[in-house]
Amino acid sequence: MSRHVVIIGGGIIGLCSALSLRRKGFDVTVVDDRPPLHPGCSFGNAGMVVPSHIVPLAAPGMMALGLKWMWNPESPFYIRPRLSWDLLSWGYQFWKAGTAEKVKKASRVLAAMQLESRRRYEELERNGLEFGLVKRGLLMLCQTQHALDEEAHVAELARQLDLPAHILDREQTDAIDPGVRMNVCGSVHFPLDAHLDPVRLMCGLDQLVQAEGVRVLRSTAVTGLQRTGPRIEGVTGATTLRGDEFVLAAGSWSDGLARQLGLRLPMQAGKGYSLTLTKPRELPQLCSILTEARVAVTPMGTSLRVGGTMEMSGLNESISPRRVQGIKRSFLRYFPDFREEDFDGVTPWAGLRPCSPDGMPYLGRTSRYDNLVIATGHAMMGISFGPVTGDVVAELVSGETPSQDLQLLSPDRFG
């Protein structure tokens, strides 16, 4: 009889893990507390597959920039003032991680994993799963020469990792996407990046895993875990579900469940927002990042999604009108042919991205338990990391040597 694997969390990481595990012959059950097709973090994001994102969130200078931004309610980064030891501890670890040496070590791991995810997305589409994968690259759009110079340094780091990157002036930027007018001084083009429609991806994955025999239990909250010594025996909630192996992939809620097991997975929920224009007056052909504003812009079929902000305000998905307004204003500065009234009637989306202090995912087995794999903490890059994370989870459960370097991703790295 095949071993039973219980996956806690039905987002992109949980479903990709379920698919990889099932294809290795495991009996798999996914448990998720949200109803079917709930627009969680895996649905409303920018849909980018970004091997170019080789610099983790905890980079040199980010702490100072964050402190500067946090006083502006429309800025790309905001921390809601509150008395929280967890937040203070997370901030201290974030500051410690923001060194050039750690970024250099992390960049190689991030690039390798995301390139593999891109390859796996191509394979999924060849095998019939349709989610609108577009492989035209990504533009880092810059309005100032200072920002373009900084992005040029990232481009050089990317080239050292065999990732092509092209620095473009204003005219070259216009030429690469001539159907839209942009107010920029230049850009960096990363041709290996891609984008997709996350709603189509998630709906397709959900159908695919169930067609292959995975049980998906939606609207089923996990409130606790049963354990005996170094083994997890089952998850508890409205009912008890037993298994042989367990995967914790519950996004921003993973930390709370991990604490019940005596594990430390420092995590802050980084709230992001997006707005989707169904009939945009212009439609870019490439996805882009508005560098100074930290806003992502992605064409999805005939629609255009605009998203951004990193709001640390706890485990809540409430919408802040000021944050939404900041995204709109930033977008309009870069794309001057659009008007604020274009967003009239557009309902903002918000989702919680699981952010570790060092900007690296938690992926691997923990030394405390023999049958538990952790797969969470992917921050803004859950979609980009999904397929490769699923493959690594399946390798770990199978007892195989992981195909990726997991040293920097250890779930035990903070004690």
Question: Which is nearest to 214 in space by CA: 32, 402, 405?
Answer: 32
Q: What is the pLDDT of residue 39?
A: 58
Residue with tokens 């970024």: 103
Q: Angle at Cα 340 formed by Cα 336 and Cα 346, nearest 5°? A: 125
State yes or no: pLDDT of 85 exceeds 50: yes
| Angle formed at CA 177 by CA 176 and CA 179, multiple of 5 degrees | 145
Q: State CA 397 to chain mean position distance.
A: 23
- The confidence band for 57, taking pLDDT boundaries of 50, 70 and 90, is confident
What residues contact 212, with CB distance under 8 A and at least 6 apart? 19, 22, 23
Please give the domain boundaries of the chain with CATH numbers for all domains.
Answer: 4-42+200-266+358-409 (3.50.50.60), 50-114+129-194+267-355 (3.30.9.10)
pLDDT of residue 79: 75
Burial string for 247-260 (b: 16+ CB within 10 Å, else e) reads: bbbbbbbbbebbee
d(CA 131, CA 118) in angstroms, rounded, equals 13
Angle at 232 between CA 230 and CA 233, to 5 degrees: 125
The runs of H, that is alpha helices, within 98-177 are 100-126, 145-160, 170-176
pLDDT above 90 (res 37):
no
Q: Are 395 and 402 in contact (CB under 8 A)?
A: yes
Distances (CA, A) of 249 to 14, 179, 185, 228: 6, 40, 41, 21
95-139 confidence digits (pLDDT tens): 888 788 888 899 999 999 999 999 999 999 999 999 999 999 999
Confidence of residue 298 (pLDDT cuts 50, 70, 90): very high
Instruction: Give strand pairing partners of 355.
Output: 268, 378
Query: Which amino acid does the sequence have at 152?
Result: A
pTM > 0.85: yes
Residue 319: CB atoms within 10 A of its CB come to 12
Looking at residue 202, what is its pLDDT?
A: 95
pLDDT category at 1 given cuts 50, 70, 90 is very low
